[in-house]
Amino acid sequence: VKWEKVKDFSEIIFERAGKIAKITMNRPEKLNAFTPVTVAEMIEAFTICRDDRSIGVIILTGAGDKAFSSGGDQSVRGNGGYVGPDHIARLNVLDLQHLIRIIPKPVIAMVKGWSVGGGNILQLVCDLTVAADNAKFGQTGPKVGSFDAGYGSGYLARVIGHKRAKEVWFLNHFYTAEEALQMNWINRVVPLDQVENATLEWANEILQKSPTAIRLIKAAMNADTDGLAGLQQLGGDATMLFYTTDEGKEGRDAFNEKRKPDFGQFPTFP
Ligand code: 2NE
């Protein structure tokens, strides 16, 4: 596959090949630990993917073979969050997690090497995970004075079960790709040299399916775990579809034409 750069960034690489976009955290010397800049760039790239109708699937990965991501860069952790060039301490990775949940297109994590801390939560919130056989997964927060009490714990418990999620967080062990697969933490394990092909194979299979069906399935599954915020997303999708119907347009047109709407002309389905 031939990747073409979409836009220049300093701490990520943003490319596409046809309808597939690839966002790569690019700080391999720190095992792709993220700073506020890395996260802001990822938010921008995901937002471009969201708005671009010609992109159907997004792959999130890390540069090199040693790591997907080792989480928040501890060397820029200040008082109350991670500090970037604007000197503001922030946890903008939480906004990125939410964006990955609501973006109405499948996001596939392609994991090579370490998937740790806040980096592993990014893998968790992706819709699917394809891992290389050298991948290792774990949460280190309590070792380094941190934790993720949002998706990192509640959603992790939904995915791998409460006992396992507490084990992960209380003991901070690392798990091999095979072990993570057994725990239903990830979807698929392949040899390292085949991980990109395997990920692309799934992305291309998904691209053959109805994007609206996939969008609604993603929103419905997330609504089950995301409470009102999830229902808002699913409800927004219902509104979007309703806007495309003659019944929806009748309400808009009647208002603009200063007449009474005639909704009686439309069928009600059982
Ligand atoms: C991942 C792990 C176990 C790998 O160990 P190893 O021995 O294979 O590599 P090494 O030598 O530790 O790492 C290579 C270089 O990357 C840096 C290291 O300091 C080292 O740099 P040099 O000594 O060569 O200069 N590096 C690795 N991870 C880093 C990080 N997160 N921040 C800054 N530099 C990092 C091992 O590297 C490890 O345990 N890393 C730390 C994992 C961690 O605790 N991450 C933060 C969790 S908290 C979080 O992410 C978070 C959250 O909980 C809530 C909200 C937002 C974020």
Domain boundaries, the chain: 4-207, 211-258
pLDDT-flagged residues of the chain (< 70): none
d(CA 219, CA 200): 23
User: Which amino acids bring their CB within 6 angstroms of ligand 1?
Assistant: 30-31, 33, 70-75, 91, 93, 114, 116-118, 140-141, 144, 146-148
- How far is CA 143 from each of CA 138, 171, 229, 246, rounded to the nearest angstrom? 11, 9, 31, 57
Q: For the sheet containing 114-116, what is the strand order?
A: 67-69, 114-116, 136-138, 175-176
Domain 4-207, architecture per CATH: Alpha-Beta Complex (3.90)
Residue identified by tokens 């609501």 is 102
- Report the amino acid identity of residue 191: P
* CATH superfamily, region 211-258: Lyase 2-enoyl-coa Hydratase, Chain  A, domain 2 (1.10.12.10)
Residue 193 has a pLDDT of 98
From the list 26, 64, 66, 19, the residue with the least C-alpha distance to 42 is 26
Ligand 1 center–CA 31 separation, angstroms: 7
| For helices 93-102 and 211-243, angle between their N-to-C axes, nearest 10 degrees | 90
Q: Which residue minimizes the CA distance to atom 21 of ligand 1?
A: 30
- Cα 188 to ligand 1 centre (Å): 25
DSSP state of 18: T
CA distance 152 to 145: 15
C-alpha of residue 95 to centroid of ligand 1, in Å: 21
Residue 146's pLDDT is 98
15's tokens: 């490319």
* Alpha-carbon dihedral sign for residues 92, 118, 83, 9: negative
Q: What is the pLDDT of residue 205?
A: 98
Tell me the whole-structure pTM to 2 decimals. Answer: 0.98
Radius of gyration of the chain, Cα coordinates, nearest whole angstrom: 20
* pLDDT for 139: 98
Can you tell me the ipTM of this complex? 0.98
Q: Which of 192, 80, 174 is nearest to 134 (CA)?
A: 192
Residues making up the binding site: 70-74, 82, 114-118, 139-141, 146, 243, 258
Probe residue for ligand 1, chosen from 32, 35, 70 as the CB with the greatest number of ligand atoms within 8 Å: 70
User: How far, in Å, CA of 26 to CA of 73, rounded?
Assistant: 13
pLDDT of res. 109: 99
